[in-house]
Chain A
């Protein structure tokens, strides 16, 4: 314990042993952080290149169908609504929709060839009375997805619509517009009663998504890849990069605060970079890091 304290003191408190500057702020220490960041960047690129099919090294988000399902139902229960049951057909439709977005390189409710979300639901064998769809991409965490939907009036209305009984999710990784991303498709439904099932197409109501479709067709790239995010790799480089970034920024801020405070307390006069400027810089880069975990919804 004493050894650990001595080490922490050496790393964070300016003293004679560390030339009156917290060791974690020394140029050699900053170089170690940089080398590690470069190494991680290299590993990340290697993982992205050999990602498909790799069970050991890969890039995946922390978005899971179980968590999305749980959070959606929590929101409904909070609003005194019935909880939804998970439907495999809706899940298949959601996955097919996500794969279609990767294959045709679009990000919209309606495909460029005018395929509607309802086409995916119907082709999965699900006959509905009511149906709805929410989309999300680029998120890192499940709770970020659901809270972004809840913050948007139209998506919130979709989640809290009393007409729905069932839900299905598709979480698929792939390359969209040349960038590796994770698409989340949430499909709601209320099954059509068997007595009127034969006349399904004509009796279907609410066949429009609550969110207005925005077609954003961009250049088609020749190589389009998609895979379901059902198995996360053993070493998830994206998670490691994110955690490492948080750790480094946290450590730098801690070292800057401690160094500045003790230098003032011990009346140490020295010429160094401006701590306050470093705070502003690191603080805003930290905010950018948070922004990165939030994706976009449609």
Chain B
């Protein structure tokens, strides 16, 4: 339990260190879900909104690591892969 509390504090510290950047990501995510729900009847619009969110998330990752001076090819690939997985999984359910 103690180690778990320490772990949470460690996480919080990381967020506090980059509070503005995480708030930006969270705001983008909230906007994404609001727009996604708003265009419930238009799957093509939903797919466009999802694509924009994926691009935003990848850009966020690249800028964040660039500012932190930890930008490596492996990290770029990681963000692109996670974004692409989400995009193609939801695309299957959206566009048909």
Contacts and interface: CB of A to CB of B under 8 A. Distances in A.
A291 B89 contact: no
Contacts of A294: 40
Interface residues of A, number: 50
Contact of A277 (B36, B60, B70, B85): B60
Secondary structure of the B contact surface, majority rule: helix
Contacts of B10: 264
Interface in A139-184: 179-180
A116 B81 CA distance: 50
A9 interface: no
B52 interface: no
A296 B37 CA distance: 11
Interface of A: 25, 27, 30-31, 33-34, 37-38, 40-41, 44-45, 48, 59, 138, 179-180, 238, 241-242, 244-245, 248-249, 252, 260-261, 264-265, 271-274, 276-278, 280-285, 287-289, 291-292, 294-296
Given A44-B92, A265-B7, 19 more contacts: A30-B81, A30-B85, A31-B81, A37-B88, A40-B88, A48-B96, A245-B90, A252-B85, A265-B3, A272-B78, A274-B61, A274-B64, A281-B57, A281-B83, A281-B86, A283-B29, A285-B86, A292-B93, A294-B40
Interface of B: 3, 6-7, 10-11, 14-15, 22, 25-26, 29-30, 32-33, 36-37, 40-41, 43-44, 50, 53, 57, 60-61, 64-65, 70, 72, 74-75, 77-79, 81-86, 88-94, 96
